[in-house]
Amino acid sequence: MNEIILIKNGELALKGLNRRSFEETLARNIQKAAAPFGGVKVWRSQSTMFVTPLEGTDIEEAVEAISKVFGIAALSRAAEVPKEMDAILPAVCEYLAEELSDAKTFKVNAKRADKKFPLKSPEICAAAGEFILERFPHLTVDVHEPDLTVTVEIRDTSAYIHKQPIKGAGGLPVGTGGRACVMISGGIDSPVASWMMAKRGLELSAVNFASPPYTSLRAEEKVKDLLRKVAEWSGEIRLHIVPFTEIQEAIRDYCPEDMLTVIMRRYMIKIAQIIARKDGALALISGESVGQVASQTLRALECTDAAADMPILRPVIGMDKEEIVTIARRIDTFDISILPFEDCCTVFTPKHPKTKPILEKIMQAEKALESDEINVAAMMEKAVRDTMLVIITPER
C-alpha cells in the first residue's frame, strides 16, 4: 500500500490570481523541507496538493518537517488504493487497524471528487461502516463526536484513506512576501519575532551585533542555535555578524550615559539597514514590545524609528512576555534564549537610562561622534565591511 501526504492549503485559497505562484512556492518549500529525509514529489490535482515520498523516504520525519512549512492549514497521511470498493474496504481496515482497535466510536466520511464513481458518498459511508463494524465489533458509530473519523476520498486517479488531519503551521508560504532582515539578539523576543514574520511569508536575513571581547563566542553560537530553530520553519537564513565594539566604545566614551542605549540602538538600525538592503530585504524586524524595558517606550521607539528609512516590523509589539514565551516554547527557542551569555546590549547598560528620550537631544548628542577625531561614519563603513556572513540551515 502506497502512503502519501495530502495537503490542505490555508489562506492560499484567498489569493485569486496569485494563487498559482503561491502554490508553486509552497510546493518548493515542501520539497526543501522533506529533502533531508529522502525527498518527496509534490503534485497538484483538483485543488489539493499531493506529496509522494520518494523511495526510502522516512515518512514520519517528512511529515514532521512538512508540519512546519507555512501556508498549510492541515495535512494527512493517507493510503493510496485503486478506486474499487473491493480494494478500498480491506485497505481501510488494514491501514487504520491500530486506530480502529483503540477507538470506541467512529464515523466514516466520504468525499467523491470523481462524480463518475458508481457509489454516491452516503453509499460509500454505509458500505465502509458496515465492513468496519464486522471486523471491529467493539466499535459503535457516532456521527457527532467520534473518537475516529475515517475519510475515504475518491479522486481522479485513486482513492485515499485517512484519519483526522493534523494541524499545519498556517500562515503564508515563505518567499511570497519578499525578504526582511531580523535584528537578532540572544534574547527571547527576537527569535519569536522572526518566526512570526516568516509565518507571514517573508524570507529571512538576520543581523547580529557582536562586541568582542565584551561579548563571547558562546553568545554568537547561541544566536546561531536560535536561528537554526527558526530555520526549521523559515528555511535558510543569511546571518550577518557585525563587529560593533568600536562603535559601542565610542558611544560610551563620547555620549551622555543616560542616552547610551537609545544612541546605540540608532546605530544598530543604521548599520542593519545597509546590510538589509544589500541582501535584498525591504524591511527590518525587531523583537520590541511596548513598555518591556526602558528602550521600548513610545519616546524611545520614536528615536529608533527616526534612524530608519525602511519599515521596522515589530510583530510582538503588543504582546505580554508570557504570550511571547508561549511561542518561544512552541518553536523550541526558549531554553536556548535563557542561557546566560552577554548580549552587546547589556554590556554598557546605563544605571539610569532615559525612558523618555527626546529625539532632538539624542541627535544633538550624536554630533560628538562626527568630529575629525572620532569619525563614526568611517566606523560604520568598516563595521559593514568586516561583517561576517554565516548561512544558517535547519538544525535537523
In the complex, which residues of this chain contact ligand ATP (CB under 6 A)?
A: 183-185, 187-190, 207-209, 268, 286-288, 292-293, 295, 343-345
Query: Could you tell me the smallest distance in angstroms from the CB atom of residue 227 to ligand ATP?
Result: 12
User: Which CB, 154 or 230, lies closer to Mg ion?
Assistant: 230
For Mg ion, the binding residue among 10, 173, 187, 235 (CB under 5 A) is 187
Which of Mg ion, ligand ATP, none binds 63 (CB below 5-8 Å, type-dependent)? none
The least CB distance from residue 171 to ligand ATP, in Å, is 20
209 binds, among Mg ion, ligand ATP, none (CB under 5 to 8 A by kind): ligand ATP
220 binds, among Mg ion, ligand ATP, none (CB under 5 to 8 A by kind): none
Of the two residues 146 and 187, which places its CB atom closer to Mg ion in the complex? 187
Is residue 304 close enough to count as binding Mg ion by CB under 5 A? no
CB of 341 to ligand ATP, least distance (A): 11
In whole angstroms, the minimum distance from the beta carbon of 282 to ligand ATP comes to 17
CB of residue 312 to ligand ATP, shortest distance in Å: 9
End-to-end CA distance of the chain: 28
Q: How far is the C-alpha of 339 from the C-alpha of 46, rounded, in Å?
A: 49
Least distance to ligand ATP from the beta carbon of 235, Å? 20
Q: Which is nearer to ligand ATP, 158 or 190 (CB)?
A: 190
Q: Is 165 in the site for Mg ion (CB under 5 A)?
A: no
Output the smallest distance, CB 309 to Mg ion, in A. 24
75: partner contacted, choices Mg ion, ligand ATP, none (Cβ within 5-8 A by kind): none
The binder of 50, among ligand ATP, Mg ion, none, by C-beta within 5 to 8 A per type, is none
The one of Mg ion, ligand ATP, none whose footprint includes residue 292, by CB under 5 to 8 A per kind, is ligand ATP
**Whole-number minimum distance, CB 230 to ligand ATP, in Å?**
12
Question: Between residues 29 and 185, which has the closer beta carbon with respect to Mg ion?
Answer: 185
What gap in Å lies between CA 198 and CA 255, rounded to an integer? 37
Say which entry of Mg ion, ligand ATP, none residue 175 contacts (CB below 5 to 8 A, set by partner kind). none
Which residue in 57, 158, 176, 185 binds Mg ion (CB under 5 A)? 185
Residue nearest to Mg ion (CB): 187
> Which H, E and C letters describe the chain, residue by residue?
CEEEEEEEECHHHHHHHHHHHHHHHHHHHHHHHHHHHCCEEEEEECCEEEEEECCCCCHHHHHHHHCCCCCEEEEEEEEEECCCHHHHHHHHHHHCHHHHHHCCEEEEEEEECCCCCCCCHHHHHHHHHHHHHHHCCCCEECCCCCCEEEEEEECCCCEEEECCCEEEEECECCCCCCEEEEECCCCCHHHHHHHHHHHECCEEEEEEEECCCCCCHHHHHHHHHHHHHHHHHHCCEEEEEEECHHHHHHHHHHCCHHHHHHHHHHHHHHHHHHHHHHCCCCEEECCCCCCCCHHHCHHHHHHHHHCCCCCEECCCCCCCHHHHHHHHHHCCCHHHHCCCCCCHHHHCCCCCCCCCCCHHHHHHHHHHHECCCCEHHHHHHHHHHCCEEEEECCCC
Q: Is 191 among the residues that bind Mg ion (CB under 5 A)?
A: no
Place of cell 508561549: 326
The listed partner (Mg ion, ligand ATP, none) that binds 208, CB under 5 to 8 Å by sort, is ligand ATP
Binding of Mg ion by 71 (CB under 5 A): no
Q: Rounded to whole angstroms, what are the CA distances from 197 to 20, 32, 54, 230, 388?
A: 22, 19, 31, 11, 24
Summarize as ranges the residues that interact with Mg ion (CB under 5 A): 185, 187
